[in-house]
């Protein structure tokens, strides 16, 4: 099986385009190591690449992506935990100043959780992973209480971001860095259809469109 030609074409475009302007930066990053100030926890969804949305340069964003941008609560049980390992490295070693939990509209993982009859996949892992949505689903209440199914899913996607921020605070080193004022946690939400980004207000929990704040 051959390597996807789409990727080879993309790499050639990168090499003759962006790499020519970023070469010095790559060299510097190779020599001195990375020191990103921002960690992003995003969804695997192919439409919501944080580097694209935030127009990031090499070395700027430390990114972890998983289905539905979730962080399980702190559980030091010896199991191999990918998100916790990345979080520990970002906070303890890189000492990032910001962690952004980036949710998005039309999240397949969140929708699948609300449709128990049609799981996202028939395998062993996704059902258990998506159970992390349960506290958010409980908080938003039944779908029947909303004007439309889309309203319900948007609310669930956004409350799930808040629950993930709560889970981040269960990690002792995250909590202490936040309390010291060296780390700030943020929630953000990307509208896939319209490309709009909303940021969560910490006090009210409401998401406000950043474009309208220009």
- Alpha-carbon distance of 156 to 162, in angstroms, equals 10
Segment contacting Zn ion by CB under 5 A, of 40-48, 125-133, 143-151, 199-207: 40-48
Alpha helices for the chain (secondary structure H): 5-16, 18-32, 50-53, 82-88, 108-114, 126-130, 134-140, 149-168, 172-180
Closest to Zn ion by CB, 57 vs 155, is 155
Closest to Zn ion by CB, 107 vs 165, is 107
Whether the CB-CB separation of 42 and 50 falls below 8 Å is answered with yes
CB of 25 to Zn ion, least distance (A): 30
Q: Output the CA–CA distances (angstroms, integers) from residue 43 to 1, 104, 214, in the order listed.
A: 28, 8, 26
Segment contacting Zn ion by CB under 5 A, of 38-46, 141-149, 183-191, 200-208: 38-46
Closest to Zn ion by CB, 45 vs 60, is 45
Can residue 45 be called a binding residue for Zn ion (CB under 5 A)?
A: yes
CB of 43 to Zn ion, least distance (A): 3
List the beta bridge partners of residue 65: 42
Q: What would the 3-class secondary structure string for 39-60 be?
A: EEEEECCCCCCHHHHCCCCCCC
CB of 26 to Zn ion, least distance (A): 30
- Alpha-carbon distance of 199 to 207, in angstroms, equals 5
Segment contacting Zn ion by CB under 5 A, of 22-30, 76-84, 107-115, 167-175: 107-115
CB of 128 to Zn ion, least distance (A): 17
Can residue 107 be called a binding residue for Zn ion (CB under 5 A)?
A: yes
Closest to Zn ion by CB, 99 vs 120, is 120
Closest to Zn ion by CB, 43 vs 99, is 43
Closest to Zn ion by CB, 41 vs 107, is 107
The residue to which tokens 């939990």 are assigned: 101
Segment contacting Zn ion by CB under 5 A, of 7-15, 102-110, 141-149, 203-211: 102-110
């Amino acid at each position: 099986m051959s390597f996807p030609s789409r990727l080879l074409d993309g790499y050639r475009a990168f090499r003759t385009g962006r790499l020519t302007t970023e070469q010095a930066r790559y060299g510097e990053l190779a020599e001195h190591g990375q020191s990103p100030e921002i960690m992003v926890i995003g969804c695997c969804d192919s439409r919501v690449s944080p580097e694209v949305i935030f127009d990031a340069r090499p070395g700027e964003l430390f990114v972890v992506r998983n289905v539905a941008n979730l962080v399980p609560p702190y559980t030091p049980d010896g199991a191999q935990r990918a998100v916790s390992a990345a979080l520990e490295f970002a906070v303890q070693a890189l000492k990032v100043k910001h962690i952004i939990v980036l949710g998005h509209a039309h999240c397949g993982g969140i929708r699948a959780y609300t449709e128990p009859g049609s799981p996202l996949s028939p395998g062993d892992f996704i059902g258990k992973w998506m159970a992390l949505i349960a506290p958010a689903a409980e908080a938003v209440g039944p779908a029947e209480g909303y004007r439309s199914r889309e309203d319900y899913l948007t609310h669930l996607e956004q409350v799930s971001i808040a629950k993930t921020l709560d889970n981040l605070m269960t990690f002792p080193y995250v909590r202490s860095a936040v309390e010291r004022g060296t780390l700030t946690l943020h929630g953000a939400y990307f509208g896939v259809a319209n490309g709009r980004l909303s940021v969560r207000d910490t006090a009210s929990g409401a998401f406000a469109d950043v474009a309208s704040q220009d």
